[in-house]
Amino acid sequence: MVFIFKSLLVLLLLFVIINLAKAMFEMVKGPQSDDQEHSDGDKPMSHYLGRRVFLSALAVVLLIAALLSGLIEPNSRPY
């Protein structure tokens, strides 16, 4: 069970990085003029950044829930 939880957290963090990279490509591409039509796959940078914030918040909530339920234990001596 712990392995599945840790794998889920790693996948969430990978999706965060992927969405951050997609937002960077949208930012580098720059704004489109009004003359150009938006294709179906063309989404604004804020879409990817919003997704990144949501996935980060979900990862934090899952960590807190796992700590409170006793699924994972914090390191008592971090040094």
Q: How many domains does the chain have?
A: 1
Within a domain: 55: yes
pLDDT of residue 75: 86
Q: What is the pLDDT, as a whole number, of residue 43?
A: 82
Asked if the structure places residue 57 within a domain, the reply is yes
Residue with tokens 């960590």: 63
**Domain assignment present for 79:** no
Domain limits at 22? 2-27+45-69
* Residues 31-48: tens digit of each pLDDT: 665 555 555 567 888 899
How confident is the model at residue 39, as a pLDDT?
A: 57
Instruction: Identify whether 38 is part of a domain.
Output: no
Q: Is residue 59 part of a domain?
A: yes
* pLDDT value at residue 79: 76
**Residue 35 placed within a domain:** no
Report pTM.
0.76
Residue 37 lies in a domain: no
